Amino acid sequence: MASTTDTAPPGPTAPGAQAPPLPDDPAGLKVVPARHYARWAAAAAVVVLVAQFTHGLATNPVWEWDVFRDYVLSETIVQAVWVTLQLTAYATVLGFLLGTVLAFMRLSRSPVLQTVAWTYIWIFRSIPMIVQLVFWFNLSALYDRLGFGIPFGPVFWSVDSNSIIGTIGAAVIGLTLHQAAYAAEIVRGGVLAVDEGQLEAAAALGIPRLRQIRRIVLPQAMRAILPTAGNEIIGLLKGTSVVYVMSIGELFYQVQVIYGRNGRVIPLLLVATAWYVVLTSLLSVAQYYVERRYARGADRTPPPTPLQRARRFVRTLRAEAGRRHRPVVPFKPLGDIR
């Protein structure tokens, strides 16, 4: 017995039965893969359901794919998509700028700045976006004139508030202020995720304060900020559909106008859905590459991008084909494939 335990690796023994000693040469053993019957059954059921749904999409006349085709690239819709994109872009850029300022106010050593930022975030996270948008839409009732002057003193210059803040302006302000409250917490979370030692090292090297933030802290915070920020921006893209209450010609509003006229509700909702899916997909791809950029130095060797993987796959296929078709000609394309 002692001789077998010395040479063979330990293995489980069937209870009761005395298994023969394991052979010295592992090649003499055959491995039988485990069979996952339940897993296979579940997969088959899901495939059937998906097939049924896809079949329904293609054949059910209610979808009215011909109407979808007529409208999806029509000028009105494309223009509405453009408005949606603009709202998203402005609210994202301005929202995150303001959010970053708020985040650093909350992280500052001044209790006044901390409190103001905290209060802002508290209020704007508490008001539903749609309520806030209607507020801004009625801005002129609140402040009919906007101007510059000495606080609590004379006003030097002022204008009618409706004339400088149009409907789109009001929508952008509403989306931005709402977004900033969330962005502030996302940025703050990212900054807190950066190791304390990084700021200490930067301070010990005498790097100026603003540059510490811009060059040392924020690039590292981006790793923690980006996944959540990606969520937020995608949420915002779809959230812009709320501004239909202000009768702005963005995608969802325009779709409603059209089906209000022709009664083709389902295919027009499909048009909106298709565009939201396309835009969200583009944002997701962009997010992937931006995250990859900020991962520099975090991984020892960054994984290949999907594009690189696809190219490598094509190269391998070609190499295989080359070998098969020209077996006599010496061919060594595999050198750069790892």
Partner 1 sequence: MSDVMVDVRGVHKSFGPLEVLRGVDLRVRAGEVTVVLGPSGSGKSTLLRTINHLEKVNRGWISIDGELIGYRRSGNRLHELKEKDVLKQRTHIGFVFQNFNLFPHLTVLDNLVEAPVAALRRPRKEAVETARRLLARVGLADKADAYPRQLSGGQQQRVAIARALALEPKVLLFDEPTSALDPELVGEVLDVIKDLARTGTTMIVVTHEIGFAREVADTVVFMDGGVVVEQGPPSAVLDEPQHERTRAFLSKVL
Count the residues of the shown chain that bind partner 1, applying the rule CB under 8 A.
Answer: 24
> Least distance (Å) from partner 1 to the CB of residue 53?
45
Per CB under 8 A, 197 contacts partner 1: yes
Both tokens of residue 290? 């931006």
Cα separation, 140 vs 145, in Å, equals 7
Taking the least distance from each CB to partner 1, the nearer of 153 and 297 is 297
Q: Angle, to 10 degrees, between the axis of helix 167-193 and the axis of helix 111-126?
A: 120
Q: Considering only residues 204, 307, 328, 329, which one is a binding residue for partner 1 as defined by CB under 8 A?
A: 204
Nearer to partner 1, 55 or 293 (CB): 293
Q: Which residues contact 290 (CB under 8 A, 6 or more apart)?
A: 226
d(CA 212, CA 233): 27
Among 74, 86, 162, 198, binds partner 1 (CB under 8 A): 198
Sole binder of partner 1 in the list 35, 195, 325, 338 (CB under 8 A): 195
20-79: which residues touch partner 1 (CB under 8 A)? none
| Residues 245 and 236: beta-carbon distance below 8 Å | no
Stretch that binds partner 1, among 26-34, 200-208, 243-251, 326-334 (CB under 8 A): 200-208
Query: x/- binding map, residues 214-233, to partner 1, per CB under 8 A?
Result: -xx--xx-------------
3-state SS, 190-232, equals HHHHCCHHHHHHHHHCCCCHHHHHHHHHHHHHHHHHHHHHHHH
Q: Confirm or reject binding of residue 211 to partner 1 (CB under 8 A).
A: yes
**Residue 140 in contact with partner 1, rule: CB under 8 A:** no
Q: Which is nearer to partner 1, 198 or 287 (CB)?
A: 198
Question: Measured from the CB of residue 212, what is the shortest distance to partner 1 in angstroms?
Answer: 9
What DSSP state is assigned to residue 159? Answer: E
Beta strands 145-149 and 155-160, pairing class = antiparallel
Q: Which is nearer to partner 1, 220 or 241 (CB)?
A: 220
Q: How many CB atoms lie within 10 A of CB 99?
A: 24
Contact 226, 291 (CB under 8 A): yes
Candidates 36, 69, 296, 326; binder of partner 1 (CB under 8 A) is 296
Count the Cβ atoms, other than its own, within 10 Å of residue 103: 26
* 207 forms part of the interface with partner 1 (CB under 8 A): yes
Residue 187 is a binding residue for partner 1 (CB under 8 A): no
Contact yes or no for 103/277 (Cβ under 8 A): no
Residue choice 12, 15, 297, 327 for contact with partner 1 (CB under 8 A): 297
- Amino acid identity of residue 279, one-letter, is L
Q: Tell me whether residue 104 or residue 124 sits nearer to partner 1 (CB atom).
A: 104
Contact positions vs partner 1 (CB under 8 A): 195, 197-198, 200-209, 211, 215-216, 219-220, 294, 296-300
